[in-house]
Chain A
């Protein structure tokens, strides 16, 4: 199983990947998770690769072979479409955060219609997840990632309780309840 997660630095892509890979490990599978720290993270485009199964060699997913792409931002969704396999599923948030060159007026903003048509053209099997809005309504936009995890859990094989265990284990104590709630809300946004 190949899961590619992408978004903008600060959106919680790394925690999502940690919770998902921890879940796969707890389920007894071989797991590899690949990410990059350092300068690449400072508000830049962030992606992590999570692979699990009986035996995994490469920590990187090959382009065109992701079974699931989880995208936290619309422009980043388009940027990583080429990782999706022809039968792969896309979970994406239409939330937008413009890159600095666009904010500075040096580069033109991509129109919603342009991004929508790119997404529609390459991801037949896609679900729009309003994770940012859901998180905001919960009172903290930072749990967008765990709303997304709840949504993704509906498309993966692990029981919800294994994810909840990971959340209790890896999230700061005072935020556990909020994140468990975010997970449930996310799961409610997607049909299995």
Chain B
């Protein structure tokens, strides 16, 4: 055994490895990405970046049906993408253990919503485990594989950003290797035709009933008796915050929140004078306690949005919180595009174009912010193209603004391709711009079908978005280099003028992937007229100094986009 400091994500990877997991699939998404990155560093587990979460779920289910222990990991909204096979998996069940990790993001650190995926367990009739630190994340991952095989059901392991990205001490153990069980044909289980699925539903209800008995007895749903009269029911990281604020209370700490251990809750309620549910986002525990006819405080006092913290728990539930004021009136520091980011050139080229732009999910969503402000929508993965198509059908010729989609390369493979096929098939005039930076940028440079390598470092085919566009019957496919900003703008304008669907591929590797080693650029203060054209790039290295442009040498990577846009040749 060794004692290590692991993030929740790393601990889940460790737990899967120790549990003898054979196959793992994921699509990158904060805060879940590091699970597969960590797991890929271990031997004996096949790991892949699947094209999207639905694919990852199906790959894991396929491996499970074939008798392997299988893992699928994703961020919370990824489970929406994967919901279809997830629900089917509950009916089909698991041959080899099947564990699905959902990494929720209360506080929206890096997401479009803060949905609470504990509900998915209830809706799909799948058990839900919620760890409170990295040790529990590892242990519950191992347990999840066992439960999955014991009860013939997928298991949902639900973490949040604070579990995923907090590092805590973990006692590591060795891998328990096991062979892949192998596959035996069983059509009444694995083919969910209505006639078979009817039976599988009844069977599933029986499985979830047996899991309820398990949930009532497991040591993971445990009472910690305190000296006080307050009883707290909680799960996940909320347990840690509650512990800080109420050291004397009694706790019912739920490691398995679904099926909900009603009898255990009743017994706990009888031991204390007052009950409170401390949980993040939705009143998942609280509602189920209330359904038992028990009185419990919770979201009447605690917020239903953003993360909890010791401070939030103290302010919401006690009178003893002394006020702590943040410093007011300081400039915010929002995230921005990096120095040398190729999206900078693309968005500069899009400025001042009278178009409607559907945006998508990735670093380039930052193009929605000043100085670019080049985006009308950001909805979900792949929705840039389909939004633009819907808008095109709605507005037709009544609105002269061209409908444009901006989508990253990884997002294009994730779910942009289907939208592009739809656009071609149903004939709209959308101009789709693929911001191809040769990687999955936002989540930290994961491989994808266009990169030519896999998660496990193997060489593979390089899927070409231009060839996909042509295969859709879109003849106008234009490639641009966003570092050549003015040329990109000229080519874009030409495309926007002509009717008919078009695809523009803006190709240049992410500045953090292929690091430039150029000399920092310099402004000739004699030539600079202070027109602020270069400022409109939104480059973090460029600012105004006494009416003239100035470039910070420690920030500049020498990409030269500012040289390209300067109308007075003042930058070299």
Residues of A participating in the B interface, judged by any CB pair closer than 8 Å? 8-9, 21-22, 25, 30-45, 56-60, 62-64, 75-76, 78-79, 81-82, 97-110, 118, 122, 141
Given contacts A25-B169, A101-B370, A103-B542, 13 further A-B contacts (CB under 8 A): A21-B5, A25-B3, A25-B5, A33-B5, A36-B161, A43-B337, A58-B241, A59-B240, A75-B333, A82-B326, A99-B333, A104-B371, A104-B538
**Which stretch, B82-90, B268-276, B307-315, B412-420, touches the partner chain A?**
B307-315
Please pick, from B33, B243, B366, the residue contacting A57 in the complex, using a CB distance under 8 A. Answer: B243
- Residue B162, interface by CB 8 Å: yes
- Known contacts A58-B241, A105-B544, A107-B331: does B166 contact A33 (CB below 8 Å)? yes
> Once bound together, how far apart are the Cα atoms of A103 and B162, in whole Å?
32
Judge whether A110 and B338 touch: CB under 8 Å.
no
| Cβ contacts under 8 Å, B240 to chain A | 57-59
| Cβ contacts under 8 Å, A42 to chain B | 335-338, 363, 366, 442
Q: Which residues B407-459 have CB closer than 8 A to chain A?
A: 442-444
Residues of B participating in the A interface, judged by any CB pair closer than 8 Å? 3-5, 30-31, 33-34, 109-110, 133, 161-162, 165-169, 237, 240-241, 243-244, 309-311, 314, 322, 324-327, 330-338, 363, 365-366, 370-371, 442-444, 532, 535, 538, 540, 542-544, 554-555
Judge whether A63 and B335 touch: CB under 8 Å.
no
- Known contacts A37-B31, A103-B542, A118-B327: does B237 contact A59 (CB below 8 Å)? yes
| Cβ contacts under 8 Å, B335 to chain A | 9, 39-44
Please pick, from A60, A76, A81, A82, the residue contacting B162 in the complex, using a CB distance under 8 A. Answer: A60
Closest 4 CB pairs of A and B: A38-B110, A38-B30, A42-B335, A59-B166
Judge whether A79 and B554 touch: CB under 8 Å.
no
- Known contacts A31-B169, A60-B162, A82-B324: does B332 contact A37 (CB below 8 Å)? no
> Once bound together, how far apart are the Cα atoms of A110 and B332, in whole Å?
11
Please pick, from A32, A62, A82, the residue contacting B314 in the complex, using a CB distance under 8 A. Answer: A62
Judge whether A104 and B554 touch: CB under 8 Å.
no
Q: Is the interface of B mostly helix, strand, loop or mixed?
A: loop
Judge whether A63 and B366 touch: CB under 8 Å.
no
| Cβ contacts under 8 Å, B543 to chain A | 98, 102-103
Interface CB pairs A-B, < 8 A, 12: A25-B5, A30-B169, A35-B166, A37-B33, A39-B109, A39-B366, A42-B336, A43-B540, A79-B326, A101-B334, A108-B331, A118-B327
Task: Give A106's nearest chain B residue, CB to CB.
Answer: B370
- Known contacts A103-B543, A106-B370: does B310 contact A37 (CB below 8 Å)? no
Judge whether B110 and A81 touch: CB under 8 Å.
no
> Once bound together, how far apart are the Cα atoms of A44 and B141, in whole Å?
33
Judge whether B331 and A32 touch: CB under 8 Å.
no
> Once bound together, how far apart are the Cα atoms of A35 and B334, in whole Å?
17
Question: In whole Å, how far is A43's beta carbon from the nearest beta carbon of chain B?
Answer: 5
| Cβ contacts under 8 Å, A64 to chain B | 322, 324
| Cβ contacts under 8 Å, B532 to chain A | 105
Judge whether A101 and B165 touch: CB under 8 Å.
no
Judge whether A101 and B324 touch: CB under 8 Å.
no
Task: Give B322's nearest chain A residue, CB to CB.
Answer: A64
Task: Give A17's nearest chain B residue, CB to CB.
Answer: B167
- Known contacts A31-B168, A33-B167, A64-B324: does B330 contact A79 (CB below 8 Å)? yes
| Cβ contacts under 8 Å, B333 to chain A | 8, 43-45, 75-76, 79, 99-100
| Cβ contacts under 8 Å, B365 to chain A | 39
| Cβ contacts under 8 Å, B161 to chain A | 36
> Once bound together, how far apart are the Cα atoms of A45 and B335, in whole Å?
8
Question: In whole Å, how far is A10's beta carbon from the nearest beta carbon of chain B?
Answer: 8
Judge whether B241 and A60 touch: CB under 8 Å.
yes
- Known contacts A25-B3, A98-B543, A103-B543: does B30 contact A37 (CB below 8 Å)? yes
> Once bound together, how far apart are the Cα atoms of A9 and B444, in whole Å?
14
Of B330, B333, B443, B554, chain A has the most CB atoms within 10 Å of the CB of B333
> Once bound together, how far apart are the Cα atoms of A8 and B339, in whole Å?
14
> Once bound together, how far apart are the Cα atoms of A38 and B240, in whole Å?
24
| Cβ contacts under 8 Å, A82 to chain B | 324-327
> Once bound together, how far apart are the Cα atoms of A40 and B333, in whole Å?
10
Question: In whole Å, how far is A31's beta carbon from the nearest beta carbon of chain B?
Answer: 6
Please pick, from A58, A100, A110, the residue contacting B334 in the complex, using a CB distance under 8 A. Answer: A100
> Once bound together, how far apart are the Cα atoms of A69 and B305, in whole Å?
28
| Cβ contacts under 8 Å, A104 to chain B | 370-371, 535, 538
Question: In whole Å, how far is A54's beta carbon from the nearest beta carbon of chain B?
Answer: 12
| Cβ contacts under 8 Å, A22 to chain B | 5
> Once bound together, how far apart are the Cα atoms of A88 and B458, in whole Å?
51
Judge whether A101 and B31 touch: CB under 8 Å.
no
| Cβ contacts under 8 Å, B309 to chain A | 58, 60, 62
Judge whether A37 and B444 touch: CB under 8 Å.
yes
Please pick, from B166, B244, B334, B337, the residue contacting A34 in the complex, using a CB distance under 8 A. Answer: B166
Please pick, from B30, B167, B314, the residue contacting A21 in the complex, using a CB distance under 8 A. Answer: B167
- Known contacts A25-B3, A100-B538, A102-B331: does B243 contact A59 (CB below 8 Å)? no
| Cβ contacts under 8 Å, A63 to chain B | 311, 324
| Cβ contacts under 8 Å, A56 to chain B | 168
Question: In whole Å, how far is A141's beta carbon from the nearest beta carbon of chain B?
Answer: 5
| Cβ contacts under 8 Å, A122 to chain B | 327
- Known contacts A31-B5, A32-B168, A34-B166: does B110 contact A40 (CB below 8 Å)? yes
> Once bound together, how far apart are the Cα atoms of A31 and B135, in whole Å?
12
| Cβ contacts under 8 Å, B324 to chain A | 63-64, 82
